[in-house]
Every structure is written in C-alpha cells, then in structure tokens.
Chains A and B, each alone.
Chain A
C-alpha cells in the first residue's frame, strides 16, 4: 500500500527534476523600430533621416526633425543656407562636417529669426563633430517635453572641433559637452545667449582639450565652466582656457547665482591664462570642490567700465564688479602676472568699439569690435607658453578672425 504512494511521490519528484532541466531562459526582445533608410539630400524641404552634402549656394528648409544615423555623414559646403521651421532640431548620431569659409560662411537660422526658435544640434551620441566658419543663430528653447535645449550637445568621447564660427542668441547652455569628449574650440564668437540661465561653454565629466581665442559676450550664466561629476570624479575634466575675451557675462541669472567669466568646480582642472575679462559678474571663480592643486592660472586681465553697478533687482544694492574679479569665498587668488584694474581707466584693454554695456537681455545685438587699440596694455602681457598677447585678438594673427 505505502509502496504504491511512494512511487507516486518519486514519480512526481522525477517529473519536477525533468521540468527543471528544460526550463526556458528569460528572453527580452526589443521590437524592431523601423528606421527608414537615409535619403540623399537635395535642395528644398528636408526632414527625417538624411545624409549627404549640402551644396554651395543652395538653400535648404528643415521642416521637421532631421536625423543623421550612425555611420552616416551630413556635410555642408561653404555658402550653404539652412532655414529651420517648426522648432525642429537636428539629431546627429553619425558625423557632422560643416566646413564653411571666411568668405562664404554656412548659415543656420530659424525662419522667424527670433531667439530660441529652433532646436539646435543634438549630438549626444554622434561619431564626430566638425564645425568651421558657420553661423548658428537663434537656437534653444523648449522641446516638446518642455525641457530646455542646449544649442550644441555632445555626450560621448569623440572629437569635437569647432572653429571660427558664430553662435548667437541661443537659449540654454550654448555648448554642453561631456563624457570624455576631446574639444578644440578656437576663434568662435558666442553672443547674447542663454535666456535667464545657461553657460556659454559648459564642459563636464572627463572632457579634455583647448578653448582659446573665443569671444563670449553677454552670456546669461558663466562664459566657460569646467567640472567633473561628483558621481564619476575620474577621469577629470582638464581644459586649457586661454586668450578668450569674456565680456559682460553672468548677469541674467540674478545675484543669487551670479555667472562667471570662467569657473572651475567639482574636481575639474583648468589652465587659465591670457584672458581678458570685462564687466563679468564674477571673474575667475575656482570653487573649493574643484581640483585647485592642479589648476593653474595667471596673466589674465580684469576690467570694469563702471565703479559700481546697480543690482537689476534691488537697485539700491550697488555691485562692485572689481571686488568680484576673484570672488570672496572661492579659492582663486589674484596672481602677480594678472593685470587687475583698480579704477576706471586703469588696465582698460581699450577695445576698438565697446560702449561699456554691463547687463543686456538675451538677443541683445553684439555690434562691438573687441579688437584692441594699439595702446592696449594687453599686448605683450601674456604667458608666452600660449601667446605673447592677451585676449582673442592677438598681434601674431593666430587669434580670432571675426
């Protein structure tokens, strides 16, 4: 009697064992998303997945988001005109090669020509970015989800080469580059960008490279910001920042979060030389959590065109810009090699044309000429490792060509 049931028991256990042996493994399948093949570009309206070359003298109208797929390249020849409608953005997963020339720059703008009216270059996962002699105007503004869009965003360890180009009237961060990219950002002019927040050149999490000979005028937040990430503190961000002309930056974010000409924080490293810093809310701010021991700086010129500036929100509060060249509370200290203005007229860099504007709104026209008059103290005051002169416009012709 008992035996019989022991058999059942044994049979059951055996069955269980057999089942366990043929157990099905977990399978995760992502439904294939039908990504259309990229179409070659021809003048006129373009949208969707494209690749190929934008040809000299032609005008292209982007009517909806453009995507350059992994492996594809979008190139532009000198003199191409691209007009973007419907707040569209350009997604780059492949390579972007915009090669204009001094005589025939490439032009990207929205149809309405107002700040923040198209989505910019979203290159988070791009393979290579080269932009030369190109105007990129009126980028930024919210995407459909309500998130602010930087004008040029990269989040990958690739080469990002941006030279001799103009970026005007962006909304959020102008360039936001992170995750180990190598940057060569030379001789560009960035004007009146960021609505009430946003940095000019925001480099994070392990970015390496050079930022030199750029003019950054009236950026809402900081002109150039370097930091690593508190979560992944290594590899460190380490960038040479030299011979930039940084004018009237950092005012639109309000006095609770003053913007800086150059800041270094969160384990970042900067080598900051030969810059001309005029009328910025804060000058060079080295936060105590930056890698202060490895950061080097000097030969920078600081100037303010006014003794005090009435706070825009509390006009009774007068801000002494000169007190904030190296703001209190941060680790940066005046260097012997610096040219630091003590009063109006002292160490004035003598721009060819500048009216002393301090705070200006997003979209403010930059009709100034930040070349230096011959008598400028900025000549021959530089750290020769970078340049004999200070600022973006140098006498050796290596500087900004705009």
Chain B
C-alpha cells in the first residue's frame, strides 16, 4: 500500500516537469493594506484547470498559457475574491493586492453555509475565538525547525513538552500542568493511545506536514470535552483544498551523538513474533531452544542517517462538491541517548543526617530507530450550501527498535566488595525491544443547516490503537571487581522474555444542535445543546518467560562469556500468560450532555452554560491468588459550568475573562493494581486514586495591531482537588517503578505574556509564562534527637505540583528576505526547574533542572518549485538532568541533530 503511494507521488512529481511552452503570467499577491505577501493564495483562470498557488513569498507563476482572453481569479481564505479580465499575448507580470473580507454581520445572526471558511490566519482565529486560545498555523510550522507536532507546540505560549529519556516520546504540558491534565485531540476528537503507560498519543509521531494548524485552548466551553484542566491541544489536519494541491518534501539528517559513539544494533529478525504459548497452545512446555539468541547479541555499527519524506495531495471534483486530500509523512530516525542513572537512598550512616545519597551508578546507552508513517485522508462532499459530509481517516504507524545497554555499579556496600572507585559488583543489563504501534482513527461527520436559524452537526468516531511488543529480551550478568582490582568472570544471572500486546478501542457518537438569532441590529444570541457518548475498552496481555542459567556440575551459577554459549533452563515452562496479573481488561463509559448560550452584544460576547459528564470506569485482572482488588468499578458524575466573557475594547483589542470547572480522569492502566511495563518506567495502578476536579479562572488582554502582530497578557488561577501525581516506589536496573496517588489540593496561579512583531524583514515572537503551584503532602521525616534516638515521623512538606514548570520562555527571531526568497529562524526555549517524581521521604523529591534549547532553521527557494531547507536542533547540546537537592540522580545527553532537505510545491 505504502509503496503504491510513493509511486504515485513520484509520478506526480515527474509529471509536474512536463508542462507546455507558451506564455507565462507571474507576479506577487499581497495584502492591500499591509503589503504583506500572501502565501497559499490560488491564482487561476475561470473554467480552466490548473493555475498556481503563491509561494512562501506570495509569488505565483502560471506557465503554458495560449494567447487569448481570460478571466483571472484569485482566491484566498478570508479575503475578497479577486476577478479581472486579462489579455495574454506575451509573458506578463501582474501584482495583485487583495482586500481583507469584513466579517458579515448577517452571519452573526443566522447560520450561513455549512462550509464555513476558516479564518485568514491563526491570529484571526485567536481574536475571534469564543475562549482563550493560541493557534499555530501550518505556515509557522513550515518555517520553523519542527518536523513533528511536539516541536511545533513547544513554541506556543505556556506550552512545554515533556520528554522521556531514551525515547522521543513527547507530551504537552500546558501552563506547567502535566500531560495528564491536558487533552490531545485530532480534528476535535480524542485519539486512543497505543502506549501502555500513557493516555494520549505521543505528539512526536504526528508529522507537522499534515497539520493545517494546532489550536491550544486554555479555557473550556461547555461543548468541549470536560477532561482538561491545563487545556486542550487540537491537531487540525489539512482540509480538501479549492485548488489542486501538491507538496512534497524530503530531508536527511544525523544525530550528533553518533559522531562520538557507535549505534548498538541487534538482529531484528531474531525477534519471534509469537510466544511459545501463542504458537503451540497453553499446555506447551517451552524448551530452552525455543528462545532466540541473536536479539541479545549487540553489535556496533555506524548510525545510518535519518530520512524524512512526505507529500500532500488534494483536489476537488464535480463542481467542487467532492474534495479529498491525502497526506503521508514518513520518518525514519536514528537517535540515541547517553544516560547516567544513579539510584539514591537515605544515608543512614552516622553523622550523615539522613540525606539522600547515591547507592548505585548506572550508565545506560540507548540506540533507537523510530520509523513513523502517518497517512491521513480527508474526503468531503458538499451537497449544497446547507449540507456537508466529511470522512476523516488518520492512520499512524510507528515502529520502534531499541537497544539499551546498562552498566550498574554499587557505590554503597549493599552487594559487598566496594572499597573505592573502580571496585565492587558490576551488573550488566542489556535489553532489546521491538515495538509496533498502530493507531487508526476514523471519523464520519456531518453539518446541516436545517433552516437559517438551526444548525445540526454530528460525528461518529471509531478509534483503535494497538501496540505489539514481541519478545522484549533482557539479559543480566554481573562480575565483581575485588579490592585489589582483580575481577571475577561475568556470571549469568537471568534472561527474561516478554511478549506484550495492548489495545485501546473507542467508539464515540457526538451530536449538537444550534439555534441562532439576531437581537436588534448589532446583537445576536446563539443557543446550543448537545451530547456525547463514548465507550472505550482497553486490554493488556503479557506473557513472560524467565530463563535461568543452568547450574554447573557442582551446582554453581554458570559464567557468562557470550550469548551463544550461555546455557539456560526455562524456569516457568508454560509462561505467565494464564496467571499474570498484568493481564487485564478495562473499560470506560462516558455520557455527557450540555447546554450553552452565546450572547453577542455590541462590544461584549458572553458564552456560558453547563456540561454534565457521567463516568464509569472498571477493570478486571487475572489474579493468581484471590485478591479483593482484582476487579473494581468506579462511578462519578461531574457538573461543569463555564462562563466566558469577551469584551471588544477596540477593533484590534479584546479583554477576556473566564471561569470553568473541569476534571481529569485517571487513565485505565492507572487504576489496575498490577505493574504495566513501560520503556523506562513501570506503573503500578491504584484503584483508589480519585479523579481530579478543578476550578479555573482566567483573564487575558489581547492586542492585534496588525496582521501577524500580537500582544497577549494573561493571568490565571486554578484550584485543583485531588491532582494525580506519580510517587516513586523504587527502581531496578534503571527501570523506575511508580504509582499514581492523590496528595490533596493544589493551588496554581500564573501569568503569561505573548508578543510578536515584524520590523521589515525581521520578526520577533516570544512568550513567557510564570506559574506558581503549591501542594502540601505528608512525607516521612527521619531525624536523630539530642539523646541519640532516631525516629521517622510524618511531616507536611510544601512543594510545587508534579510536572509544573515555574518559568517558561519561548523566543524566536525570524529573518525573511523577499528578494532572496530566504527565511532564517532562531528559536530559543527555556524552562525552569520541574518536579518529576515525588518520593516518600521529606526533602527528597526529584527535580528536573532548568533547560535552555536553541534551534536554527533556514530555507531558501531556489526555483519556482523547489526550496532547500535546513534544520539544526538542540544546538546547545542541553542535557536533561534530574537532581535530588544537589545530588545528580540522572543525566541524559541527546546531542545536536542536523537536517538538510528540500521542499517541492506545485
């Protein structure tokens, strides 16, 4: 299938060179008032196929025109259509100014068309939105060094991206709120997650190419899903264009990390897709020979370059009634992490004051190949001006192949023999993982203007995410460096093989009915009711085989020389499938309804209403021993009022205020009280964890002096009852084990400023968010009193909310040169100290240290169709460092990554 798509794209690519050789019409399309070039405007002759789209500098060119008289049309969203009769008798240059469309008053009072045009630019969306929103347009994404949605999002005010060492997974943190408090939507609907320990899809697997824009809503209206406290990220995929649209891009890149070390590779062919039980039935006794060895044989090679390819094609048929757009983005990335991971514990040695101390040092190197393919299709049929049907399909495929080599040395005496640096027991733990993720999201939706006053829209969504991780293989062996620096041989400890599969399926139905009417000349009222039903199911299947070394003749553990000569017995010959508590099924049913009004007065917009959400969640595990917590059900109902006020101070400025209640639900895996394996963190669920409820207050002043220029100043306050935070239970070989918990009530307050402006060729865009958060939790405090008696007592500790970042700065400088057709952008991101994990001892939390990132991107148009692009990320080689007080607990280094490529536009 994929091959065919690439073939098609190649053919299209070739075809575009074979145009005829008559006359050429070219010129530039600009905004009449601001004189700014307009990108993506459609220039064509009436009733004739073809035409041209303006490039990033507003230039267009139509070739192969036979002499004659034509009616020239220029269409650009949000601008009045331009029409002119011209005579072509030779090559001609025609610059055309377009006039921005004034908002029709009539539209405010009744529903116009079902095919509502989107706004001219992101800035206009922000200005006219009912709630507090930030929008990044496709253009902004195209111009900046962002290959995926995660990178693009990190430039939105108040948004930071949470990353996990050893993987490229990225989740949005809005205003310092953990990803869990934020919603990630695709085309307005939730997408199920294939990740066993995450509720949302990683933003890094959504290529920015496919996106029309990204909307970040920081306040909720009643018609929106109520489970977002920080905000909602909506990835809006491209819509079927009015004109024939084709874009392709390609690039290659390299991770700077691999200039200094090799890429650790293993034989992927040795990964067996099926476990012994899957292949031969539950009674099968797996022999030692069943388990392959080559996937635990790690060899070094030079890292291959990263390659990215993508295309988007779209057009309309049948008098523009039927339109489609299809986009495919393929990324094959090779990246790595060098990570130092230190186990910490309380120092109980005399005089050490029970401070945290490093007990083990582990060095881990990750080598990862991640292949993403995102295929999205959109089909819409416009029956008439009043009825429209759309079919959206998003299919994402990710394949992750990862080697993790870990060397763990004990620092304290725990395992004996340590007398100083370079001595003690050394544990090697090497792991190979292969993961396939499939996300399928199909949405059928309709919009019907029933009468000028009534609008009905509906959607049915099927979403299915599956992750298959066959034969995750892990080997551990160890040796001891004696006090005299002699070393024992390596001893073979254990091999574990895990076949894991999980899936998440959602079925949703959504319907809304709106009524709109005018009141007097300048005012209007809109009433809206609607509802949603969503049924989600999730399952996790895990089957683990434990392989232990065959004892030598005298009963001793056998030495380890290499994987091919290791001799093992299968410790549990039938696997753990039948009795593994990690096997569960879970479900979530959500029923929601709302009523909403929007009153548009002369200067004031009032939007308010209430949403009711009923939730039912439950799970069922397979207990080995009967356990009261093996099966549970939770029910809760929430009433979520919302009120949004927008006061138009002037034509170019707004003042907004909003209040809304919202919630955050624990993910299903967070309820199941058995460990779910993740890449570097395992989560043991907690059925007693309560859902989070929040009261949110927001105010924002917005100024839009000119197109592409803005100033926002906002403040917010949130009272969050029962935030869900992750408590660290412990770690083993650098794999953390955590549990979700409620620690009380948190208060979050903050302010943000957004500013962007252009001075001729130079543009500045920046935003800054300050967030204060506080929660008091009970910790264990250990101390020795004057008489030498040591006690551990509960003590309240005041601390920030987990995942909350105090200061976030995004700053970018843009240089564009219309003559040279060149863009250069330098983007800087800063985030301050962030609490990553809560530990049970007083003064002993894990904080990620402040980070500064710098990225540079540039592009230059070299011909009518071709643009060369270059992107360099992480110029400062910023590590991710986690500390407990002053103790470095972990440090991950990713290094710089380089990318060079081209873009082709029709």
Contacts and interface: CB of A to CB of B under 8 A. Distances in A.
B900 to A, nearest CB: 48
Nearest to A116: B571
Interface in A1-17: 1-2, 5, 8-9, 12-13, 15-17
Interface stretch (B370-378, B436-444, B606-614): B606-614
A253 interface: yes
Contacts of B572: 142-146
B622 to A, nearest CB: 10
A26 interface: yes
A252 B557 contact: yes
Contacts of B579: 143-145
B283 interface: no
Contacts of B625: 65, 67, 91
Contacts of A282: 416
A146 B791 contact: no
Given A234-B782, A313-B489, A285 B416 contact: yes
A254 interface: yes
A196 B691 contact: no
A314 interface: yes
B791 A234 contact: yes
B413 A257 contact: no
**Of listed B520, B546, B626, B634, residue having the most chain A CB within 10 A:** B626
Interface in A232-276: 232-235, 251-258, 260, 263, 265-267
A146 B624 contact: no
Given A231-B730, A313-B491, A361-B555, A256 B634 contact: no
Interface stretch (A153-161, A207-215, A322-330, A366-374): A322-330
A289 B413 contact: yes
**Of listed B556, B574, B730, residue having the most chain A CB within 10 A:** B556
Contacts of A37: none
A91 B207 CA distance: 53
Q: For chain A, which range describes its interface: under 10, 10 to 19, 20 to 34, or 35 or more residues?
A: 35 or more
Given A9-B606, A15-B610, A314-B489, A232 B413 contact: no
B635 interface: yes
Contact of A1 (B350, B423, B519, B635): B519
Contact of B425 (A5, A257, A285): A257
A148 B480 CA distance: 24
Nearest to A28: B634
A23 B637 CA distance: 7
A329 B484 CA distance: 10
A256 B348 contact: no
A329 B639 contact: no
Contact of A19 (B601, B636, B641): B641
B478 A257 contact: yes
Q: For chain B, which range describes its interface: under 10, 10 to 19, 20 to 34, or 35 or more residues?
A: 35 or more
B412 A24 contact: no
B576 interface: yes
A33 B639 contact: no
A336 interface: no
B688 A28 contact: yes
Interface of A is mostly: loop
B556 A312 contact: yes
A233 B558 contact: no
A145 B624 contact: yes
A306 interface: no
A196 B488 contact: no
A364 interface: yes
B702 interface: no
Contacts of A232: 780, 792
Given A142-B572, A144-B576, A329-B483, A28 B687 contact: yes
A287 interface: yes
Interface in B597-611: 597, 599, 601, 606, 608-610
Contacts of A228: 348
**Of listed A8, A260, A364, residue having the most chain B CB within 10 A:** A8
B84 interface: no
A349 to B, nearest CB: 24
Contact of A29 (B525, B544, B546, B632): B632
B790 A255 contact: no
A361 B546 contact: no
Interface string B179-211: 000000000000000000000000000000000
Interface in B541-565: 544-546, 548-549, 551-559
A5 B599 contact: yes
Contacts of A314: 488-489, 559
Given A9-B608, A145-B580, A289-B412, A251 B556 contact: yes
A360 interface: yes
Nearest to B520: A1
Interface string A134-176: 0000000011111110000000000000000000000000000
Interface string A10-44: 00110111011011111111110101000000000
A195 interface: yes
A195 B423 contact: no
A314 B519 CA distance: 94
A20 B695 CA distance: 12
Nearest to B492: A254
A112 to B, nearest CB: 15
Contact of A359 (B556, B580, B638): B556
A289 B414 contact: yes
A128 B574 CA distance: 34
A329 B630 contact: no
B552 A230 contact: no
Given A13-B608, A31-B631, A290-B413, A313 B641 contact: no
A154 B599 CA distance: 67
Contacts of A196: 548-549, 551, 555-557
A72 interface: no
A255 B548 CA distance: 17
Nearest to B359: A230
B782 A5 contact: no
Contact of A256 (B488, B610, B635): B488
A12 to B, nearest CB: 6
B168 interface: no
Contact of B551 (A67, A148, A258, A362): A362
A58 interface: no
A258 B416 contact: yes
B348 A19 contact: no
B577 to A, nearest CB: 9
A375 interface: no
B353 to A, nearest CB: 12
A189 to B, nearest CB: 19
A26 B690 contact: yes
Nearest to B494: A197
A254 to B, nearest CB: 4
A31 B488 contact: no
A296 interface: no
Interface of B: 345-346, 348-350, 354, 359, 412-419, 423, 425, 478-480, 482-484, 488-491, 519-520, 525, 544-546, 548-549, 551-559, 571-572, 574-576, 578-581, 595, 597, 599, 601, 606, 608-610, 612, 624-639, 641, 643, 661, 687-688, 690-691, 730, 780, 782, 790-792, 840-841
29 contacts: A1-B519, A5-B599, A16-B609, A20-B639, A25-B636, A29-B634, A33-B627, A142-B572, A143-B572, A196-B555, A196-B557, A228-B348, A231-B345, A231-B346, A231-B730, A233-B348, A254-B488, A256-B480, A256-B489, A257-B416, A260-B416, A287-B414, A288-B349, A289-B349, A313-B556, A328-B419, A361-B551, A361-B553, A361-B555
The 6 A-B residue pairs with the shortest CB-CB distance, nearest first, are A361-B555, A287-B413, A230-B345, A146-B572, A16-B641, A19-B639
Given A15-B610, A30-B632, A257-B425, 15 more contacts: A13-B608, A19-B639, A30-B629, A30-B687, A67-B625, A142-B546, A196-B548, A233-B792, A234-B791, A256-B491, A265-B414, A267-B348, A282-B416, A330-B416, A361-B553
